Structure 1
Amino acid sequence: MSSGDPKELGTFLKARRAELNPLQVGLPDTGPQRRVAGLRREEVAQLAAISTDYYTRVEQGRMQASVPVLEAIVRALRLTDDQRTYLFELAGRPPIEAPAPPDRTVTPHTRRLLDQLTESPALVLSDTMDVLAWNRLAAALLTDFGQVPEEDRNYVWLLFNDPVLRALYDDWETGAHACVAYLRMHTARRPDDPRLLRLLERMAHHADFQNWWQTREVAVQGAGNKVFHHPVAGTLVLDWDTLTSSTSPRQHVVIWTAESGSPSEKGLRRLATAAADKQRTGLPTCRP
């Protein structure tokens, strides 16, 4: 735990309460006789359901607030997610993830990034490995995700249940085991995520998945190497990297690349040409 910065914390809280007036937060306005701009300390304390003395000592740096009290102050002062993070840092508390918004929409500029990667397969995965977006080459390499029912559009689900995708992997067991470890890591952050619980329910009949899940091995998605055997592109030795969005930290862009001048790079180019030809003829961008 960091030591925090009590002086800056007090200055920050004063600045935030100065931005609000009683009417904005549902309190009566006492009129022009108010001596301070914005909310008084006692009003913030009232909104946070703590004593004025407690809040005063926190703002003056004479007491370290508990996590529940910090959360109450966040609500009282209507802090943004960035302001909330800053408050926790100043208070010397470990960063705690804010409640995730329900919106899983991929931004237009992320989609544009995927489309501009014409020689590298790329897709966007959620924390629970749901496939949220993909480019044409990813569809050609793996599967046409647009033809997959939304409930099944999850990388773990497809890796265990789609025999064609499974057959692409040179070492399916290692790749599938790693995906289970990524998924297990997610449970520490949001064990009650309904999408995660639904996926685990659907995977209950897979012996390999259940065995690996029970080992409680965990891993963070980062980078690695995969070998695919593709009917059009041939054997592909690809490096993969994961880029996490700073604005949408639950979304991860996974990109596969081949070494420059290698047979794998040539294979990806053949695959890209085949995918473009299919698009021109109006056929789905799926596997041969």
Structure 2
Amino acid sequence: MSLVMPSAQARTGSAGQRPTTPDDARRHELAAFLRSRRERLAPEQVGLPMTGRRRTPGLRREEVAQLAAVGVTWYTWLEQGRDIQVSTQVLDAVARALLLDPSERAHLFTLAGTDDPAPVRDCPSVTPSVRMLLERLAPFPALVLNSRYDVLAYNAQYTGFVGDLDRLAPEDRNLMWMAFTPSHFREVLIDYRTERLGIVARFRAAMADHSSDPTRKALVARLLRASPEFAELWQRHDVMRPGNGVKRFQVPGVGLLRCEYTNFWLSPQLGTRMITYTPLDDETRALMDRLPTRAQ
């Protein structure tokens, strides 16, 4: 396991200084996330003996470092948001030491700005019955989406709208990301400029229920770096509730599809929903049979 030494400026800087750049903000979120995960654990949960009364909740930093087999100084710098680069081996060890669940582990690697060498792709919201229903909806495109706009599951017909999602990195399988960066989804969605207004407004409204969720903050920070258009819309503070509506797609080799989309909530508390696209007219119904498909 290895870490890259921080610069002299980073070593002498104040750990409590407010983030001034997107990278500073990401490190600040990483530090806060690690502290919150450490403080929720009791020593007996990780096989450590109780050693009298503790002044602070949870594990001590040196205990996490011991469990992860990394230096105390290194782990302290990580929790202080220092400008250091952490190897995937260290992140993996820290994730195991803190007993992170799959979502927390994925978030840890996202905030650290590196790929998880052993990502967990299963989602508890997508049960075998949900996957079966997605397949049975053919030839109508359908997907499962969470309130963060991550695509959790989909049927083969939906790939006609978004392309081959298997070719994308897991963190890029997000409709917000695809709407504001070059993608097949943006190419075929005719009214994508208008649709982006709604997707940003609905995402901001959903954040009110998840204001402390660092994964959403990390996504916003990533989009702010990648898209001036997103930054402009984000500053408007528009909000909108999720709803049903109509979308138009111009799919190469198929034609113009006018679709009505409908939300079916699978987990209202978490905002997970299945969205189906049904034809708005007979012409679209006939064209749906011609949608290119790529199996998951």
Normalised by the size of structure 2, how large is the TM-score? Answer: 0.55
1:251 maps to 272
**What is the correspondence of 1:10-29 to structure 2 with a 5 Å cutoff?**
none
Structure 1 residue aligned with 2:205, among 185, 191, 196? 185
Any idea what the Cα deviations from partners look like across 1:190-245, whole Å, max 9, x if unmatched?
11212201111111131211111111111122100011111022001111111111
Structure 2 residue aligned with 1:153, among 140, 154, 173? 173
2:234 maps to 213
Aligned-partner SS, 1:253: strand
Matched, 1:137 2:151: no
Unaligned runs of at least 5 residues, structure 2? 1-102, 105-121
Q: How many residues align?
A: 175
**What is the correspondence of 1:1-288 to structure 2 with a 5 Å cutoff?**
104-105=123-124, 106-205=126-225, 206-246=227-267, 249-259=270-280, 262-271=282-291, 274-275=292-293, 284-285=294-295
Any idea what the Cα deviations from partners look like across 1:95-136, whole Å, max 9, x if unmatched?
xxxxxx979421111111111111111111111001100100
Unaligned runs of at least 5 residues, structure 1? 1-100, 276-283
Contact 1:140 1:285 (C-alpha < 8 Å) held by counterparts: no
Which whole-Å CA distance do the structure 1 matches of 2:238 and 2:269 have between them?
26
2:263 counterpart letter in structure 1? T
Contact 2:151 2:173 (C-alpha < 8 Å) held by counterparts: yes
Aligned-partner SS, 1:191: coil
Which whole-Å CA distance do the structure 2 matches of 1:199 and 1:220 have between them?
20
Which whole-Å CA distance do the structure 1 matches of 2:141 and 2:249 have between them?
13
1:155 counterpart letter in structure 2? L
Aligned Cα RMSD in Å? 2.1
1:12 maps to none
Which whole-Å CA distance do the structure 2 matches of 1:243 and 1:218 have between them?
21
Aligned-partner SS, 1:236: strand
Any idea what the Cα deviations from partners look like across 1:18-63, whole Å, max 9, x if unmatched?
xxxxxxxxxxxxxxxxxxxxxxxxxxxxxxxxxxxxxxxxxxxxxx
Which whole-Å CA distance do the structure 2 matches of 1:135 and 1:248 have between them?
24
1:124 counterpart letter in structure 2? V
Aligned-partner SS, 1:229: strand
Contact 2:146 2:270 (C-alpha < 8 Å) held by counterparts: no
Which whole-Å CA distance do the structure 2 matches of 1:218 and 1:247 have between them?
18
1:119 counterpart letter in structure 2? P
1:90 maps to none
Q: Identity of paired residues, percent?
A: 29
Higher mean displacement: 213-222 or 125-134? 213-222
Contact 1:170 1:227 (C-alpha < 8 Å) held by counterparts: yes
Which whole-Å CA distance do the structure 2 matches of 1:163 and 1:143 have between them?
8
Normalised by the size of structure 1, how large is the TM-score? Answer: 0.57
Which whole-Å CA distance do the structure 2 matches of 1:129 and 1:257 have between them?
20
Which whole-Å CA distance do the structure 2 matches of 1:162 and 1:243 have between them?
28
2:216 counterpart letter in structure 1? L
1:135 counterpart letter in structure 2? N
Higher mean displacement: 139-148 or 196-205? 139-148
Contact 2:145 2:272 (C-alpha < 8 Å) held by counterparts: yes
Contact 1:242 1:255 (C-alpha < 8 Å) held by counterparts: yes
